[in-house]
């Protein structure tokens, strides 16, 4: 496994985090109770920040996550906060540090989810049934602390735990999850059954992949990472990281003695009748992302439309077509145009005619330059993804879930359920970098490394922004960035441009792809300025 670059903040999976904990306790002599105390204190700060007063309900499992919850309950009670503690297992089953913190808990002992005492017979609703809305120990809480399941959980919550998850979600309260929302796989983001929907998730030492990868990301709310005193130098190599603004510092700058070709030559091959906007936007985005020379290779019958499309800086080449769709006869012309090097963006607006698909497959295999394969260029390779391994130049694929489903011959819903596994599978099969688009865009390379976009750019949910991303990544490839860095930097710059366009217009709704293109240079400048001020 290749180590992560400096512009990725490591996201630690459950196995790595277990190793870190063992190392801190066994080799560095850090007491587990001290780690638990600091974790609980971090959760208390989150509770107080979202509700300065009002009752708190702490819902605990019997493991260390529940032990963290017991620390939270004790600290809040010591601060004179009204706190009810709910346990889904008999407190007599608690062990180790969790048992010690149960002994330290002042005030009333934990109760069952139905509100009854653990040393008494269950009420009629009991442990076997859900508590009616508006009743039970969660009723009236301003904040619920979810301390049911920790980072080691996999699969689907069952029994009393599943009922507690559902009752937390039904309650009219803010929710703070401890380390990970219960029901979310911390390592992958998979949600196999019910899962808590948190307002805030307080995670320890390092964030976990499942907090940033959907569907888990949709359950995590705001993610706050708390230092709990694990010494520096912990073992373990992360394979997944969150993209930071510093990725944009990897982008090359133009030099005074440079030329348009030194700045990067991009070829955009695509377009068809009714879809001329896609290659035009990809080409314009390439120029705004720093490419010095861009050529749009489009159907000859539509060339005039592209040439008069309002971007005179973009060159056009007319290719043989049939009823406005590219044909195999145009491949040689694109290969000739690629003789200067640079990068190829293949697929924007290509259409789905059989002849256009043949054009795309042949060009993808014969082009000797770096390539971004998008849109119907991807659909041309549905079910034959492995054929791309014969390419002799860097390759970046940019599918959404539906397109990745067609490449892997899977249902798109299955892709969305297990996004991390599928993007890695595709990268390995194609021997390429794969960008699985979404709010949590995932960038995987064949080694298994994955970069995760922090997202947060709803303005991009509009037609044409995928073409913009293809153009941006192609421009960065043409400027000499290696494909994993180019893809991650392109994704981050694209999202930042979406945010900037929304700020300029005052609202995300109404942002168009052309607004995102216009915002690309400003987004790059503002992200670098923020990074510089942070370093200072």
CATH at residue 323: 3.40.1190.20
Give the side-chain half-sphere CA count within 13 A for 250: 24
Q: For residues 176 and 295, state if they share a domain.
A: no
Task: Using pLDDT thresholds of 50, 70 and 90, give the confidence band for residue 521.
Answer: very high
CA distances from 323 to 118, 234, 350, 353, 375 (A): 76, 62, 13, 10, 20
Answer whether residue 1 shows pLDDT above 80.
Answer: no
- The residue with tokens 């699969």 is 155
Strands 240-243 and 8-11: antiparallel
Q: For residues 91 and 225, state if they share a domain.
A: yes
Residue 145 lies in a domain: yes
pLDDT at 201 (0 to 100)? 98
Residue 63 lies in a domain: yes
Answer whether residue 50 shows pLDDT above 80.
Answer: yes
Range of the structural domain that residue 280 is part of: 254-535
Residue 245 lies in a domain: no
Asked which of 240, 273, 302 is the last residue of a domain, the reply is: 240
Q: What is the largest CA-CA distance in the chain?
A: 84
Q: What is the CATH number of the domain that holds 66?
A: 3.40.50.10260
pLDDT tens digits, residue range 97-116?
Answer: 999 999 999 999 999 998 99
Answer whether residue 533 shows pLDDT above 80.
Answer: no
Residue 447 lies in a domain: yes
pLDDT tens digits, residue range 372-388?
Answer: 999 999 999 999 999 99
Answer whether residue 126 shows pLDDT above 50.
Answer: no
Which H/E stretch holds residue 169? helix 159-170
Mean pLDDT, residues 417-446 taken together: 98
Answer whether residue 124 shows pLDDT above 70.
Answer: no
Q: For residues 231 and 259, state if they share a domain.
A: no
Q: For residues 498 and 352, state if they share a domain.
A: yes
Residue 1 lies in a domain: no
Q: Round to whole Å and give the CA distance between 24 and 204.
A: 13
pLDDT at 122 (0 to 100)? 66
Question: Helix, strand or coil for residue 227?
Answer: coil
Answer whether residue 25 shows pLDDT above 60.
Answer: yes
Residue 248 lies in a domain: no
Give the side-chain half-sphere CA count within 13 A for 58: 31
Asked which of 190, 208, 240 is the last residue of a domain, the reply is: 240
Whole-model pTM over 0.75: yes
Q: Round to whole Å and give the CA distance between 211 and 195.
A: 12
Q: For residues 94 and 17, state if they share a domain.
A: yes
Minimum mean pLDDT range among 194-198, 338-342, 462-466: 338-342
Residue 246 lies in a domain: no
Asked which of 208, 240, 272 is the last residue of a domain, the reply is: 240
- Residue 131, class by beta-carbon neighbours within 10 Å (0-12 exposed, 13-18 middle, 19+ buried)? buried
Q: For residues 233 and 361, state if they share a domain.
A: no
Answer whether residue 131 shows pLDDT above 60.
Answer: no
Q: How many domains does the chain have?
A: 2
Q: Higher confidence at residue 130 or residue 380?
A: 380
Which H/E stretch holds residue 58? strand 56-60
CA distances from 504 to 340, 463, 498, 516, 519 (A): 38, 19, 10, 11, 9
Residue 30 lies in a domain: yes
Q: For residues 468 and 339, state if they share a domain.
A: yes
pLDDT at 59 (0 to 100)? 98
pLDDT at 262 (0 to 100)? 77
Q: For residues 396 and 468, state if they share a domain.
A: yes
Q: What are phi and psi of 175, to 5 degrees?
A: -125, 130
Q: For residues 191 and 225, state if they share a domain.
A: yes
Contacts of 320 (CB under 8 A, 6+ apart): 300, 326, 327, 329, 330, 333
Distance of alpha carbon 82 from its chain centroid, rounded?
A: 37
Q: For residues 175 and 266, state if they share a domain.
A: no
Q: For residues 34 and 165, state if they share a domain.
A: yes
pLDDT tens digits, residue range 169-205?
Answer: 999 999 999 999 999 999 999 999 999 999 999 999 9
């Amino acid at each position: 496994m290749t180590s992560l670059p400096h512009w990725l903040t490591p996201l630690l999976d459950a196995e790595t985090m277990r190793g870190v904990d063992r190392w801190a306790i066994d080799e560095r002599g850090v007491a587990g109770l001290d780690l638990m105390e600091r974790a609980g204190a971090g959760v208390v700060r989150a509770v107080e920040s979202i509700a300065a007063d009002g009752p708190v309900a702490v819902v605990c499992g019997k493991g260390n996550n529940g032990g963290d919850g017991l620390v939270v309950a004790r600290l809040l009670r010591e601060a004179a906060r009204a706190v009810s503690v709910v346990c889904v297992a008999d407190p007599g089953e608690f062990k180790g540090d969790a048992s010690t913190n149960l002994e330290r808990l002042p005030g009333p002992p934990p109760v069952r989810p139905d509100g009854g005492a653990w040393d008494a017979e269950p009420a009629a609703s009991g442990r076997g049934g859900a508590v009616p809305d508006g009743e039970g120990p969660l009723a009236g809480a301003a904040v619920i602390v979810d301390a049911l399941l920790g980072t080691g959980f996999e699969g689907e919550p069952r029994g009393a735990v599943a009922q507690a998850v559902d009752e937390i979600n039904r309650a009219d309260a803010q929710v703070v999850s401890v380390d990970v929302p219960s029901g979310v796989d911390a390592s992958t983001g998979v949600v196999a059954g019910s899962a808590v929907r948190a307002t805030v998730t307080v995670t320890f030492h390092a964030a976990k992949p499942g907090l940033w990868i959907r569907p888990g990301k949709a359950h995590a709310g705001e993610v706050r990472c708390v230092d709990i005193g694990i010494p520096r130098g912990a073992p373990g190599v992360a394979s997944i990281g969150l993209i930071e603004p510093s990725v944009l510092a990897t982008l090359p700058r133009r030099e005074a003695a440079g030329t348009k070709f030194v700045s990067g030559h991009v070829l955009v091959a695509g377009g068809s009748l009714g879809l001329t906007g896609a290659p035009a936007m990809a080409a314009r985005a390439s120029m705004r992302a720093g490419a010095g020379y861009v050529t749009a290779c489009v159907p000859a019958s539509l060339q005039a439309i592209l040439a008069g499309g309002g971007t005179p800086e973009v060159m056009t080449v007319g290719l043989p077509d049939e009823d406005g769709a590219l044909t195999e006869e145009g491949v040689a012309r694109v290969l000739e145009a690629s003789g200067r090097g640079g990068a190829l963006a293949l697929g924007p607006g290509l259409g789905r005619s059989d002849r256009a698909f043949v054009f795309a497959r042949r060009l993808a295999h014969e082009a000797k330059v770096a390539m971004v394969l998008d849109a119907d260029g991807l659909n041309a390779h549905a079910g034959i993804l492995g054929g791309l391994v014969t390419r002799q130049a860097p390759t970046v694929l940019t599918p959404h879930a539906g397109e990745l489903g067609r490449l892997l011959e899977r249902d798109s819903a299955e892709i969305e359920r297990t996004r991390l596994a599928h993007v890695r599978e595709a990268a390995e099969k194609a021997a390429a970098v794969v960008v699985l688009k979404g709010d949590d865009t995932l960038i995987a390379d064949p080694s298994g490394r994955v970069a995760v976009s922090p997202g947060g750019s709803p303005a991009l949910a509009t037609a044409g922004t995928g073409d913009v991303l293809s153009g941006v990544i192609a421009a960065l490839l043409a400027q000499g960035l290696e494909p994993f860095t180019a893809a991650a930097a392109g994704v981050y710059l694209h999202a930042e441009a979406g945010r900037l366009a929304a700020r300029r217009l005052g609202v995300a709704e109404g942002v168009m792809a052309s607004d995102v293109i216009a915002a690309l240079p400003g987004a790059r400048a503002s992200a670098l300025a923020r990074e510089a001020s942070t370093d200072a």
